[in-house]
Amino acid sequence: MADPRARRTLPPRPSQEHLRKQAKRLARERGLQLSIAQRLLAAEYGESSWAELMRRVAAMGSHSPKARSRLARAAETGDVAAVRDLLGKTSAPDGDAEDEASPLWLACVADAPPGTRLAICEALLAAGANARRGVPGSTPLHAAAARGPLQLVELLIAHGGIEWEEDSRGWSSLDAARNGSAPDRDAIAILLNRPVIVDPAFRAAVAAIQAGEVAELARHLDAAPQLLRMRAVEPDCYRQAARPQYFKDPKLFWFIANNPRLVQRMPSNIIQIANAMLKRGVEPEDLQYALELVMTGASAREHGQQLPLMRLLLAAGARPSDRSIAMALAHREIDPIRALLAAGAPLTVAIAAALGDCEALKRRLATASLDEIQMALAQAVINGRPDTARVALDAGADPNRFMPVHAHSTPLHQAALLDDTALIDLLLTRGAQPDIRDQMWNCTPLEWAIHEGKPISRARLAGLSSTD
């Protein structure tokens, strides 16, 4: 039985030959007998002996995904020339329907040398391979993070690999890297531990913010006033990535929102922390973006800091934009919007739809643009408002158009996520197509319901799609 204290985790498709090479390298580096190195390596993988480790690998191999297309087999065996030749002959870069794993994933886990695997992946991605398509339960980025090299991980991120996406173990690619066997494991882990902060002074100031250490933060800011103006510039692969990202190349003031959630407990004196920076001069665009992060962030709300931080930022000159309001509603953060309304903000199409105010929505939709009508449908569905969703549909909203927020999905995807049959039935009766696949996970609304454990949605959608 595997030892839960193991320091390494086997890759998705472990190779006995690869492990033998690891043992030989360990013996050479430490001047050990091979049998001792094998025993030490087995222990790191959680097994009591080398023989047990080999049996475990053999058992895993018997259930390995099968490469059936010629392209998948070439990627799996590290045949660069064959991969390029097949791609030139119009082979689909993601493989054939009968492949149990994508050629890209097979290249990442292949026993070929790092340079060979990198060359194959470059060819596949240049031909249009989906950087996130792998095998059920694992992505190419997870495989590359565990095996290396660093350049392959960077390549996948630049082409759309998502570092926070979880595999069947609940691991991010950072977890895969930390538990992997890549020779450059530490460098890979640094790359995947977002945000990547290289400057030590910036990193120390962030630590003071997250710990609620006002005096320590003030000391750093007074010693280096440029900290409030500089960015923590991240590696090029994140700036090259085609997919939209938030909190990229962050500014120091953004960290007051804890969005993304980088620490579990937000400091109770975050207002004093923010004031320490405000009194030293925060740029207007940072006030604006921090307001959006606070309005859309669950952490600030859960710690009772969302509305106090909003008041502070508004008093400092921040102004809620249409985008910040739309994003708050899209994350079902209603309290900030009610606070803005109480302070005199206008009731817009998006707000009326999200709050379920049918009469106000009808009045505003009479002169609304098509984009505003689509936003009304999106916000009504996301916030579980079938009545205002019906008003938006009556006004001409398209139930099959990808939404203006959470733009990878359709309204039916979001209704499935809510487990809301009233919304699902409304959308279906208005022509929503249940077989449209989202643009991030390549899944139908039914597959969303299955993955997220939504029994009502699953039961309602199961008879409408071939996927079950």
Structural domain includes residue 10: no
How many other CB atoms sit within 10 Å of the CB of residue 28?
11
Contacting residues for 25 by C-beta, under 8 A, at least 6 apart: none
Same domain, 138 and 208: no
Q: Which of 308, 342, 376 is the last residue of a domain?
A: 342
Q: pLDDT-derived band of residue 179, with 50, 70 and 90 as boundaries?
A: confident
pLDDT, tens digit, 9 for 90 and up, residues 60-76 = 554 466 668 899 999 99
Round to whole Å and give the CA distance between 237 and 157.
6
284 shares its domain with 252: yes
Kindly state the average pLDDT of the residues 142-164.
Answer: 94
**251 phi/psi in degrees, rounded to 5:** -95, 160
**Residue 442: left (phi > 0), alpha (psi -120 to 50), or beta?**
left
The alpha helices in 78-162, defined as continuous H runs, are 80-88, 103-109, 114-126, 140-147, 150-158
Domain presence at residue 361: yes
425 or 47, higher pLDDT: 425
Instruction: Map tokens 């006995």 to a residue.
Output: 16
Are 327 and 292 a contacting pair, CB within 8 Å? yes
Helix, strand, or coil (residue 198): coil
The pLDDT of 216-225, averaged and rounded, is 97
Among 259, 260, 267, 205, CA closest to 230? 205
Q: What is the pLDDT of residues 364-379, one digit of tens each?
A: 999 999 999 999 999 9
Distance CA 102, CA 130 (A): 9
Asked if 75 contacts 133 with a C-beta cutoff of 8 angstroms, the reply is no
Q: What is the DSSP string of 219-287?
A: HHHHH-GGGGT-B-PPPHHHHH-SS--SS-S-BGGGGGG--S--SSS--TTHHHHHHHHHTT---HHHH
Confidence check: pLDDT of 118 > 50: yes
What pLDDT, on the 0 to 100 scale, is given for residue 8?
67
- The CA radius of gyration of the chain, in Å to the nearest whole number, is 26
Among 285, 315, 342, residue at a domain's last position: 342
Helix (H) or strand (E) holding 72: helix 70-77
pLDDT higher than threshold 80 for residue 3:
no
Return the structure tokens found at 315.
């008093």
Domain's final residue, options 342, 371, 406 = 342
Average pLDDT of the chain to the nearest whole number: 91
> 86 with 161, same domain?
yes
Residues 279 and 373 grouped into a single domain: no
So what's the pLDDT on residue 33?
Answer: 87
Which residue did the predictor score with more confidence, 366 or 19? 366
- Residue 8, in any domain of the structure: no
* pTM of the complete model: 0.79
Dump pLDDT digits (tens) for 228-274: 999 999 999 998 886 667 888 999 999 999 999 999 999 999 999 99
Residue 293 and residue 310 share a domain: yes
Is 2 part of a structural domain of the chain?
no
Total count of domains within the chain:
4
What's the length of the chain?
468
CATH of the domain at 134: 1.25.40.20
- Say yes or no: 145 and 211 in one domain: no
- The string of DSSP letters for 44-66 reads HTT-SSHHHHHHHHHHHHTTPPP
